[in-house]
Amino acid sequence: MAVIHVHVGKNFIENVLLDGGSIVNIITKKLRVQLGLSKPKLAPYNLPMANQTIVKPLGLIKDL
């Protein structure tokens, strides 16, 4: 996997693993607040998980 440096809002984060195979990225509310990201908007879809369950995301943050 590749390692990159990224800016999220006003935060600079070093040594982030880049995983091109991910479709959905999940973060905790605590991390969202620490990064200064806006509140998520309602997600208009459900997601099928690897164990065959279907989950409804709590929210969606676009255009990071």
Residue 57: pLDDT above 60? yes
In three-state form (DSSP H/G/I as H, E/B as E, the rest C), the secondary structure along 30-50 is HHHHHCCCCCCECCCCCEECC
Distance CA 16, CA 41 (A): 25
Can you give the pLDDT at residue 48? 83
Residue 52: pLDDT above 60? yes
Can you give the pLDDT at residue 45? 85
- Convert the pLDDT of each residue in 2-46 to its tens digit: 677 888 888 888 888 766 655 667 788 888 888 888 888 888 888
pTM of the model: 0.48
Can you give the pLDDT at residue 1? 52
